[in-house]
Amino acid sequence: MGKENPRDAFQRFLSSCKGKKIAIATHSRADVDSLASAFAISRLLPGSVICTSEEMGEGARMLAEKAGIRAEDITGLDKKKFDGLIVVDTSAYTLLPEAKGWKLLCIIDHHRSEGRDMKAEFEIVDSDAPSASEIVAALLPSIDKDVAFALCTGIIADGARFKSARANTFTTLGRLMDIAKADYHELLEIAEPEQSQEGKIAVLTAMKRVEFIYSAGYVIATSEVGSKESDAASLIVEAADVAFVANWKNETKETRISARAGKSVKVQLNKVMSAVADELGGAGGGHAKAAGASLKARSQDALKACVETFIKFAEESG
Ligand SMILES: [Mn+2]
């Protein structure tokens, strides 16, 4: 069968939703990209409900307030009262365990295939898209001011601040900014919210604990924190080539790893994360330059495995 263009496929999907009661889920701890995408789709499906799980990120909370987005907790929804679930910005149950038991109607995602275990009849997956919002913007038949505003923040927030942008990212953003009548500064406040005081302290603590080696042509930095591992990794990678930041979670006896790579890095971190998860147990994936894992190991062992695997991949590709 020839590949149907995503816009037509999505139109066909929307028609199939007529009269159905549908929930639209973000991945857990919704970020701006995920919430913006869910919001845009909810506008096309009257009577649909946006749902999230665990606490939303700060940017997503600000977006919800600004755009008046109502989101329910997915655990509070009665599956039997819905015809199914649309999932945006993920296609892995590890990032949305609450989707288990739901009938999946549609998945819209931009993550790479490692760890992808959700299946739906309609899947619009483009791993070259820097954000789910960019994918959604191309699918919509029309875009109003609020939706345009939300999608702008999603595009700016994801995609490692335009490091993985393509020409379409900028043309889409420009077009949406016109519709939203928003200036970049206003969008950035939500896409990149001011760090809390505890957050600043956590990130600086991570900086103090940085260790690094030079191997396989790359400066590889590691650190440990009790929170804000992804903010810490994003900052540390500005000075290194690669950063792995660990956060040991005592409740689940797992180490969460946030991994970031600079522009020059040829190794795909999502592959590193998934290989380390295979080795230590757990799950890993994400994007080439921004990836993560939950590993069944203490943080020092987890970091050691990340660095060794990265070096192995770098030498193989090198
Ligand atoms: Mn995203």
Domain 6-191 - what CATH class?
alpha beta
Q: How far is the CA of 110 from the centre of ligand 1 (A)?
A: 7
In angstroms, what is the span from residue 36 Cα to ligand 1's centroid? 10
How far apart are the CA of 11 and the centre of ligand 1, in A? Answer: 22
Amino acid at 68: G
* 164, pLDDT greater than 90: no
What interhelical angle do 58-67 and 145-157 show, nearest 10?
Answer: 170
pLDDT, tens digit, for every residue of 40-87?
A: 999 999 999 999 999 999 999 999 999 999 999 999 999 999 999 999
Q: How far is the CA of 298 from the centre of ligand 1 (A)?
A: 28
Question: What is the 8-class DSSP label of residue 99?
Answer: G
Instruction: Provide mean pLDDT across the span 5-19.
Output: 93
Q: Would you list the domain boundaries of the chain?
A: 6-191, 198-317
pLDDT of residue 2: 54
* Topology (CATH) of 198-317: Diaminopimelate Epimerase; Chain A, domain 1 (3.10.310)
Q: How far is the CA of 291 from the centre of ligand 1 (A)?
A: 12
Q: How far is the CA of 183 from the centre of ligand 1 (A)?
A: 22
Q: What is the mean pLDDT of the chain?
A: 94
pLDDT tens digits for 270-314? 999 999 999 999 999 888 999 999 999 999 999 999 999 999 999
Its pTM stands at 0.82
Distance 31 CA to ligand 1 centre (A): 7
Closest CA to 27 of 116, 138, 114: 116
- Residue 41's φ and ψ, nearest 5 degrees, are -70, -35
* CA 269 / ligand 1 centre spacing (Å): 16
pLDDT tens sequence across 217-274: 999 999 999 999 999 999 999 999 999 999 999 999 999 999 999 989 999 999 999 9
